[in-house]
Structure 1
Amino acid sequence: MARPTYARIFPEHIAHNARRVRELAPDSRIMACVKSDAYGHDIGISSAALADHVDGFAVASMNEALSVRSLHADKPVLMLEGPQTFDEIAEAAHKKLTLCINEWHQLEWLERSAPGELSCWMKIDTGMHRLGFSPESVPQALARLTPHIKTSDLVLCTHFSSADLPGDNGVSEQLRCFDESTAQTSFAHSTANSAAIIRTATSHRDWVRPGYMLYGGSPLADATPASVNLKPAMEFSAEVISLRELAQGERVGYSGRWEARRPSKIATIAAGYGDGYPRHAPDGTPVLIEGQCLPLAGRVSMDMITVDVTDNPAVKIGSRAILWGAQPGVDEIARHSSTIGYELLAGMPKRVPRIV
């Protein structure tokens, strides 16, 4: 019998969120980020939901790219980190994948491989300082890159460091740097991530690259998903597998972190950090059971959490506990746990079944 712990994926919500991207950036093509197993939402389920609404798929690695290519033969599949070995260039050409060239050694591999009709993007480092060519080196990099690729497909791109923040978040300065470094070129541009798609229309350009927003999380530090018309695409839930009465003063869980301040009822839920629930979630983190948000009580274990259900007599063995979904949202759980929703979604392990 299956453990009563799973993540329900809502393809219709993923499709809704993709349509929302199209509303916000109607003149741009959409490169949908499905890396890290579609932010934990299952790359097969998610790419199928997106296929009719986006123009291409972006991934981090060759394995992810081959997985998407096996499912979608005709759409562009972009490897954001580019080739990680020399041999991946030939594999990309054979599978008609698109490589983002970010570093001089990747460019050297490309020159040695001479694949000819390979599609490429090229990243410019405008301030993120992870990957990309410096603005002053763009002419030299393009001079070496263009003889070896299909130039009609070339896209120049950059990545914003703080587009999620309100106010003067550095996006305008990064755009200025990008525009200056590409002023003498006629290639397509891509600069907008999820946050910039919502907040900065001047960044939309030829291609936008939504990721987190496709799965219904808010990419903005000062907005909820509902406030920007996004629908959460995952409901992570498990069942109550034990109920017990505690006297005042009794403690729960490892190190006895939670102490009953009154006679209390504690529910044990069949999910823990081994299932992707954040180990550092503090007491009081909300869990929705039988229509009511109830507080986490005690340390998160590998396979279980405990919740104070004293104030909801409807809770019973087999009651379903929503760990995140529409309510509480993954961003809310992340804030309680001093992390971000991206980490919770992308970090959910394979042992949690994804169901539709």
Structure 2
Amino acid sequence: MRNASITINSAALTHNLNQVIKKIPEKTKVLAMVKADAYGHGVKHCILSLQQADALGVACFDEAKQIRSLGWQKGIVLIEGVFSQQEWAESIEADCQSIIHHQKQVQWAVDQLPAADSACRTLWLKLNTGMNRLGFEPEEIVAVAKTLVDAGYNLILTSHFANADRPDHPSNVNQIKIFTEALTELREQVDSNIKASLCNSAGILNFPECHFDWVRPGIMLYGSTPLEGISARDLQLKPVMTFAASLMAIHNIAAGAPVGYGSRFVANRPIVKGIVSIGYGDGYPRVVDGSAWVTVKQMASDSTESETTVSYKCPVIGRVAMDMIAIDLTEVPNPMVGYKVVLWGDPEQAEPSVDEIANSAHTLGYELLCRVTQRPTRVVI
């Protein structure tokens, strides 16, 4: 058995959601993002820990159907909206709210009105404030909103920051200005009851004045930082995922000996090399640089004859392969095949965070979490 595993800590997920709730006004609601299978954690493993959220956000209708099949009774929001008139009809039947970001979606909504008591009578109207990805332009938003309100819909104006992780970026001030001016205009000219949602994880932390009626936490729920230069631990977030495997082989390597594909690593001294039963086929990034490390857990007996764990920081050496990685075990006394190796997990347990490994791979924690494969065994605690 390879012993490659992904452990999901449900208590950590609940803790992180509570950290969000503590930071927002009491009246503000939480749309917890669970797209991409709950950022790679497995949405079926996460729903019970997110019961305090007011609704769940997904990218597409297939994700929404899965959540409904798992018994989620509260709101679901399709953050990309629907992709056809048929899907619009199906989303109403599944009681899913939609973001509206282009004219065809407006027409589908007008042509097929949900029942008066349906949650789908509320639409999330997307405004392009400068992200330039999805949404109506400021000069057309009033006309679109009027069409939808006249048809019988309630609206939540929404937009998305492009640089919320960098609070000093000039685009943030501009986006907030465009959003607040549009919201004021809509409330004055269309419907005074229009609600608003602007903040993702980084926005929640950096722009408390913009929490409005709904916030949309994503990555922070899973214990990864949304901010540049500030760790998840500094933000009092707990990692939900621990990615681990075990030592499957140990060898002594002479100075000058290469290791792995391309002979990228060459030992500059005699070392003890370990092979770990995990690789990019499991979701560990192939492109990590020389700063990547793992934690080797060694069992040791103390004076009371009970076992304790000692953790050792070991560099990743050579190129990551599909099924294996090599590490330097030289500093681990008497290493043994079968020792647990943590690829990323909890810094409080002397383990690398997913954000540290993401830095080594020149990417973000978001990507690493979403790219873990189904090959490792899932364990929920």
After TM superposition, give the deviation of residue 104 of structure 1 in Å: 1.4
- Partners of 1:283 and 1:299 within 8 A in 2: no
Q: Distance in 2 between matches of 1:355 and 1:93?
A: 35
**1:177 aligned partner:** 178
Are 2:16 and 2:222, in contact at CA under 8 Å, matched by a contact in 1? Answer: yes
AA matched with 1:34: V
What pairs up with 1:326-345 in 2 under 5 angstroms?
A: 326=346, 327-345=351-369
8 Å contact kept, 2:201–2:226: yes
Counterpart in the other structure of 1:254: 261
Which residue does the alignment assign to 1:295? 315
C-alpha deviation, 1:22, in angstroms: 0.6
User: 1:139-178 deviations in whole A, cap 9, x for unaligned?
Assistant: 1111222244542xx2111100101014245222211101
Unpaired segments ≥5 residues, structure 2: 298-310
1:144 aligned to 144, 147, 162, which one?
A: 147
Q: Does the 8 A contact of 1:240 with 1:317 survive in 2?
A: yes
1:229 aligned residue: 236
Q: Which residue of 2 aligns with 1:121?
A: 124
Distance across 1 between alignment mates of 2:36 and 2:265: 35
2:18 aligned with 1:19, yes or no? yes
Following TM superposition, by how much is the alpha carbon of 1:355 offset from its aligned partner in structure 2, in angstroms? 1.0
How far apart, CA to CA, are the structure 2 residues paired with 1:219 and 1:248?
Answer: 41
* Identical pairs, percent: 36
- Give the CA RMSD over aligned residues: 1.4
Matched residue, 1:93? 92
- Give the whole-Å Cα distance in 2 for the aligned partners of 1:50 and 1:266: 42
1:306 counterpart (311, 326, 342): 326
The two structures have a TM-score, normalised by structure 1, of 0.96
* AA at the equivalent of 2:103: W
Please say if residues 276 and 325 of structure 2, whose CA atoms lie closer than 8 Å, have aligned partners that are also in contact: yes
In the alignment, the residues of structure 1 paired with residue 182 and residue 367 of structure 2 have an alpha-carbon distance, to the nearest angstrom, of: 33
Query: What displacement does 1:284 show?
Result: 3.7
Q: 1:81 Cα shift?
A: 0.2
Once the two structures are superposed, the pairs formed by residues 179-218 of structure 1 within 5 Å of their partners are 179-184=180-185, 185=187, 186=192, 187-218=194-225
| Equivalent in the alignment of 1:282 | 289
Assess if the C-alpha contact under 8 Å between 2:160 and 2:198 holds in 1: yes
Q: How much does 1:310 deviate?
A: 1.1
Task: Tell me if structure 1 keeps the 8 A contact 2:358–2:365.
Answer: yes
8 A contact 1:115–1:148 mirrored in 2: no
- Contact 2:276 2:326 (C-alpha < 8 Å) held by counterparts: yes
Cα distance in structure 2, aligned partners of 1:150 and 1:64: 24
Q: In 2, are the aligned partners of 1:115 and 1:149 still within 8 Å (CA)?
A: no
Shift of 1:344: 0.2
Aligned: 1:164 with 2:165: yes
Q: For residues 91-114 of structure 1, what are the alpha-carbon distances to aligned partners after superposition, in whole Å with 9 as ceiling and x for unaligned?
A: 111011011111112212223334
Larger Rg: 2
CA shift at 1:268, angstroms? 0.6
Please state how far the C-alpha of 1:203 moved relative to its aligned partner. Answer: 1.1
Report how far residue 245 of structure 1 moved. Answer: 1.0
* Alignment-derived partner of residue 346 in structure 1: 370
Q: By how many angstroms is 1:313 displaced?
A: 1.9
Q: Does the 8 Å contact 2:47/2:72 carry over to 1?
A: no
The range that moved more, 37-46 or 107-116, is: 107-116
Gaps in structure 1 of 5+ consecutive residues: none
1:131 aligned residue: 134
Listed one character per residue, the Cα deviations across residues 27-54 of structure 1 (whole Å, up to 9, x for unaligned) are: 3110000000100111011121111x21
**Does the Cα contact within 8 Å between 1:241 and 1:267 map onto a contact in 2?**
yes
State the distance in 2 between where 1:48 and 1:7 align.
18
Q: Are the counterparts in 2 of residues 41 and 354 from structure 1 also a CA contact under 8 Å?
A: no
Cα contact 1:160–1:191 (8 A) shared by 2:
yes
Return closer, same or farther for 1:148/1:90 CA change in 2, 3 Å cut-off.
farther
CA contact (8 A) 1:31 1:210 kept: yes
Match of 2:279 among 253, 260, 272: 272
Q: CA deviation at 1:86?
A: 1.7
* Conserved? CA contact 1:32–1:56, under 8 Å: yes
Matched residues, number: 352
Question: What is the TM-score normalised by the length of structure 2?
Answer: 0.89
Cα contact 2:31–2:217 (8 A) shared by 1: yes
